Amino acid sequence: MRVIFRCDPMLAEHLPRPVPARGVLPDWLRTMPATAYSAIHGRDIRTLKQCPPVVDAMTYGFMILLPCDVIVDQGKFSWDWKVSEPATANHPRAPLSFHTPGQLAGSPFAWPGQAALKFNSFWTIEVEDGWSLYATHPVNREDLPFRLVTGLVDSDRFSDGGINFPAIWKEPEFSGVLRKGTPVAQCFAVPRAAPRLEYEVFDEKRQAAYARTVADVLSTPGVYRKRFRARRGRSTGE
């Protein structure tokens, strides 16, 4: 899958490039223990750090990164980003803009009187024909003080304008700095063709395979990783 990122020539030297998600894993995943004591089991058990599906989801696709430091003071946002005027008309300069509260009315994202953030895009994104771009909150990143609203963009067709990423600010009392390079959106290309759904009941062969697989997973650590997990290639841009 080829993904093409383009940006304004005046901003090229200032923007962090979108990067493979595996390159911006959070510190907590690196530092958390691989095992922890469980009072229920009476012994140490494996933590999320040893769960391949969790880690694979966090390393899938690529991340859009915050282009500059953003200072947050209890709901007020400011920045001092000294960049040149873009050469392209109608191009944003601010890292953030906002959706008015009314745009969230009736949704579970609506908080009284609170606008939604919009992380402005400084990169256009083009994917191959027949594919769309799925953009969501960085996977399992509950430590971030915002929550991205998930969207799907037909980026094989819409590739000449930036994709903006709406988000809800979760921590109204937060004061601090969102650092340049903070992941704001995790993206991956998905085929637009609808899946064909089929339904079956287990025959004897499937019953035996199910029983055997579950028994192996419960009795032996690392069965999924060693026997079933597929090898994943790295992006050529890494």
Residue 69 pLDDT level (bands cut at 50, 70, 90) = very high
Over residues 25-45, the pLDDT tens digits come to 999 999 999 888 889 988 888
From the list 158, 187, 190, the residue with the least C-alpha distance to 19 is 187
All structural domains of the chain, each given as residue ranges with its CATH number in brackets, are 4-197 (2.70.40.10), 202-232 (no CATH)
Q: What is the b/e burial string over 72-89, where b = at least 16 CB atoms within 10 angstroms of the residue's CB?
A: beeeeeebeeeeeebeee
Q: What pLDDT, on a 0 to 100 scale, did the predictor assign at position 236? A: 62
pTM score > 0.95 for this model? no
Distance CA 170, CA 147 (A): 7
Over residues 113-150, the pLDDT tens digits come to 788 999 998 999 999 999 999 999 999 999 999 999 99
